[in-house]
Structure 1
Amino acid sequence: MLKIFFYILIMSFCTTSHAHWDSAYFRKASDGFTSKSKWMSSIRDDVLLSEIAIPGTHDSAAYKGFVDSVATQTLNFDQQLEYGIRMFDIRVRHTSDRFALHHGTVFLDVMFGDFLNSVDRFLEKNPSETVIFRLKEEMKPNNNNTRSMSETLEYYISLHKDKYVKLTSLNTRLAEVRGKFAILSDGREFWDYGVSYWQANIQDEYHLKTNWDLYTKWEHVKEQLATATSGSSRTTYINYLSGSGGSFPYFVASGHSSPGTSAPRLSTGLTTPGWKYSYPDFPRVSCFIGICTIAFEGTNILTRDTINQYNRLGVNRTVGIIIADFPGESLISSIIANNKNLQK
């Protein structure tokens, strides 16, 4: 009877979810963001783009309340810019001589022109800043175009030529790109309009077969953080916190059992002390009579905590460009604070 009692007790720990709120992951614009519209103004003009720690978003246009497998962002473009995002992941489909923004096959109900209009307005008000975006063809063009993708991009740039700068290197000084936007070209159609995205050192191991691959994803993120902070100032490091496939993007970012900011944490199904060496960076929670649940933890939270450790240690090289789904206030702030040694 005693064995049955302990078996039931352990199984209850394995399946229990735990309420969890953390400011590294926000699912509402009202969750507590603060303005960071001029954070680049504190960085010296001579600093290279490759040296700067920059907050970014993955599938930046997927913010309009789509299903969980598609949604990746909380904030619209204006809000992302206001709250500190300076690197965007823009994926397009060429249709009717325009660029529609897509996440896979899903049209995100927003156009490339909408994005550039937001960027233009923001830079007009905040000339100390620069905006960088990856430009990638996400879906094959339809058959109603009368011009090439390059010609369509040329058209868009002509509408914002005062704010556009063509990068030839990621080792460009910040002074040369303040008040401008620049393209990281991911695809031959865009090569003439910016530096190659693939010049960067990139971690983007995005596919998870199941939720239990989250720890492996975190290990890739953690390794790239270490690589960046010990790397060359002339190398641009890009680190994607995002993941999908057998897991929802919100789960990878938060470790939650459902999308909400304060949703319960999901349990891994393991407990200590029996599995004390498993998932060492995941939290031990709800401890009772020496038994603790090992809960999942999202990449946003784990990354924020690791960057804060680097910030306290004062490492010379920054963590580079950090690209996240649903980044919250404290994640964005930790990345910006990582630039302490680059300030005026």
Structure 2
Amino acid sequence: MADLTIRNLTITPLELKLVERFEGQPSSGRHTPVGNITSKLTGIFNSTSVAPNVRIQGEARDRREVSVPIGRFETRVTDVRTADPGREVIRLTFESEGRRYQVDVPGSSQRSTVMTKLDGAPNEYTAIYVQAGSCLAIFSSANLSSWMRELRDEYPLSALSIPGTHNSPTCHVALPSVRCQAVNVREQLENGVRFFDIRVNVSTDSSELALVHSAFPISLTGNKYFKDMLDVVYSFLDANPSEAVIMSVKREGTGKGTDQQLSKILKDRFYGDGKRWYTEPRIPKIGEVRGKIVLLRRHQNDPSLNSEWGGRGWALDGSVWPDNCEDGLLGSGIARIQDFYEVDQSHNIQKKIEFARMHLERAAEPFCSLPGREGYKENGPVQPFFVNFLSASNFFNANCWPEKIAAKANPAIIEYLCIRHGAAGKGPKGLKVGDGSTGVVVTDWVGQDGDWDLIRCIVGWNARLQLKQ
């Protein structure tokens, strides 16, 4: 068996103090449709969300006191032999700031584990064990409903690690090729999602905007509308004023309306006085947009909007979107996009996964300076967004529908974020590491049966920014 690697991806030093080894017995757990698929995969696709869960049997058969210090954002290869899969459990006791925390590896759950606090320990840590890499990644447990409140106002939004969802409101009963999400928008918000990909149908005779995915309505039981979805987002932001949401809005569907008509409908009916929306064509700092929706428009504006904001136009401009790309520059220059989506055979999913890993590596490379720190320039250029779609599909191939893609892509990206992300030279291209951001990672089928491991991993990487605060 391999030796255990521990990655401390938190802002507090940890020290491994005690290793106990127990007999283990596999225990049955609930399997989601995604989990049923991924549990059959091996190698790179194994992750904590799909690995067999094991329960402790009896007393510890071995107990060893150790001293393995692991600094903030440090990786240590230990001399602790990993557990024999399905037969053993290792209980690890860590110390931080004089208090102790425990975690079982692997645990009795198929998912991430919140470490047990001993002797009144104050901090909260989330552990994710990646069996294929013999790696235990430890994150600071984020309050997912308000994770942005931990970050300074001065950071540009593009410096953050932001979880997103693709075709975000498509959680309803629909064609398998249309449905992309397991849970509704409110539940996504409560669990940390802050980028929403919205597609609307535009008619020539109505300002009602039905939510669609390509040519299809998102629900077989009746149309769902943009306004109702916005009310959900507004309610969440009212309850969590520290948060900001980026919303990409695009025209799709069979309606005869134009991009220009859509821009007028949105401005006249929905965007109001700007208290709810940020519409300046500039990447904002976090402090400028708390409690607001940041508009990223994937549509052309009506000419009447060109004079807005002193003639600079209206909203973040995503109207010239690079198509089916590995690393495309948005026409306005505000973002670099990975949106390779034409997966025509199930084995091509691996190509998609590799593109996603490479974009994560690019996102981790830039540095962002704060006021008062070396390299900071008032009104200097801001790093672009790195937008990384994990989604892909093929309408004519059931093996390439969104749920099937997610079954392979999501566990693979969890593994990358736990084992290789933010480690110099460990990415596909061997790039250097700056702030270790993930960029905006746009996902399908998160939250299925309560599994938010991928979102937790993305949010967890924001702790790297806190080292500089």
Q: Same fold (TM over 0.5)?
A: yes
Shift of 1:140: 4.9
Decide which of 122, 146, 152 is 2:265's aligned counterpart.
152
For residue 194 of structure 1, the aligned residue among 315, 335, 339 is 315
The answer for the alignment partner of 2:443 in structure 1 is 324
Could you tell me how far 1:231 is from its partner in structure 2? 3.8
> 1:201 is aligned with what amino acid?
R
Tell me by how many angstroms 1:58 deviates.
0.4
1:240-279 alignment, distance < 5 Å: 240-245=389-394, 246=397, 247-254=400-407
Q: What is the rounded CA distance, in whole Å, between the counterparts of 2:465 and 2:423 in structure 1?
A: 15
Q: 1:163 to 1:248 in 2, by over 3 A?
A: same
Which amino acid counterpart does residue 416 of structure 2 have in structure 1?
A: T
Mapped contact 2:216–2:253 kept (Cα < 8 A): no
Are 1:124 and 2:238 counterparts?
Answer: yes
1:238 equivalent in structure 2: 387
1:40 corresponds to 2:148: yes
The number of residues matched between the two structures is 277
Structure with more helix by fraction: 1
Distance 2:238 2:273 in 1: 11
Q: Which amino acid aligns with 1:98?
A: E
Aligned-pair CA distance for 1:160: 7.4
Query: Structure 2 matches for 1:203-218, cutoff 5 A?
Result: 203-218=338-353
**Distance between the aligned counterparts of 1:18 and 1:306, measured in 2?**
16
Tell me the CA shift for residue 81 of structure 1.
Answer: 0.7
Partner of 1:338: 461
Task: Give the aligned residue type for 1:237.
Answer: F
Contact 2:338 2:389 in 1 (8 A): yes
Residues of 2 paired with 1:228 and 1:208: CA distance? Answer: 24
In structure 2, distance between residues paired with 1:59 and 1:163: 22
Amino acid at match of 2:194: R
Q: CA deviation at 1:333?
A: 0.2
Q: Note the alpha carbon deviations across 1:196-245, whole angstroms, 9 max, x for none.
A: 13321000001111111111111111111112112465121010001101
1:175 aligns with 2:315: no
Say yes or no: does 1:299 pair with 2:409: yes
Match of 1:221 in 2: 356
Tell me which residue corresponds to 2:177: 69
**How far does the alpha carbon of each residue in 1:72-119 deviate from its partner, in whole angstroms, 9 at most, with x for none?**
001111111111110000011113212111101111231111121111
8 Å contact from structure 2 (residues 337, 387) kept in 1: yes
Greater CA deviation, 53-62 or 301-310? Answer: 301-310
Query: Given the superposition, is the C-alpha separation of residues 22 and 305 from structure 1 closer, same or farther in structure 2, using an over 3 Å criterion?
Result: closer
Letter in structure 2 aligned against 1:250: E
Task: Give the AA of the match of 1:320.
Answer: G
Structure with greater Cα Rg: 2
Q: Percent identity?
A: 28
Distance in 2 between residues matched to 1:93 and 1:312, nearest whole Å: 40
Q: Which has the higher contact order (CA 8 A, sep 6+)?
A: 1
Structure 1 SS opposite 2:255? coil
Aligned partner letter, 1:323? V
Assess, with a 3 A threshold, how the Cα gap between structure 1 residues 32 and 70 changes in structure 2: closer, same or farther: farther
Greater shift, 192-201 or 113-122, is seen at 192-201
Contact 1:58 1:240 in 2 (8 A): yes
Q: 1:112 and 1:141 mapped to 2: Cα distance?
A: 15
Q: Secondary structure at the match of 1:169?
A: coil
User: Corresponding residue for 1:80?
Assistant: 188
Question: Amino acid of the residue matched to residue 453 of structure 2?
Answer: S
SS in 1 for 2:169: coil
Paired amino acid for 1:186: R
The residue number in structure 1 matching 2:207 is 97
Distance, in Å, in 2 between the alignment partners of 1:318 and 1:18 is 27
TM-score of the aligned structures, taking structure 1 as reference length:
0.73
CA distance in structure 2 between the partners assigned to 1:141 and 1:216 by the alignment? 34
Conservation of the 8 A alpha-carbon contact between 1:23 and 1:331: no
**Hey, what's the Cα distance between the residues in 2 that align with 1:121 and 1:208?**
37
Per the alignment, in what secondary structure is the counterpart of residue 38 of structure 1?
A: helix
> Deviation of residue 35 (structure 1)?
6.4
Q: Is the 8 A contact 1:225 1:319 kept in 2?
A: yes
Q: Distance in 1 between matches of 2:352 and 2:161?
A: 21
Q: Is the 8 A contact 1:47 1:342 kept in 2?
A: no
Does structure 2 conserve the Cα–Cα contact (< 8 Å) formed by 1:61 and 1:73?
A: yes
Contact 1:24 1:329 in 2 (8 A): no
Deviates more, 1:34-43 or 1:107-116: 34-43
Q: Which residue identity does 1:51 align to in structure 2?
A: A
Describe the shift of the 1:206–1:309 C-alpha distance in structure 2 as closer, same or farther (beyond 3 A): same
CA distance in 2, matches of 1:18, 1:80: 22
Cα shift readout 1:111-155 (whole Å, capped 9, x = no counterpart): 111121111111111010000011111135347x9x922221013
Deviation per CA, 1:144-188, whole angstroms, max 9, x where unpaired? x9x922221013334574211113222x21001111111111111
Whether the 8 Å CA contact 1:113–1:156 is kept in 2: the answer is no
User: Residues 153 and 40 from structure 1, CA distance in 2 versus in 1: closer, same or farther, beyond 3 angstroms?
Assistant: same
Residues 68/32 of structure 1: CA separation in 2 closer, same or farther (3 Å cut): farther
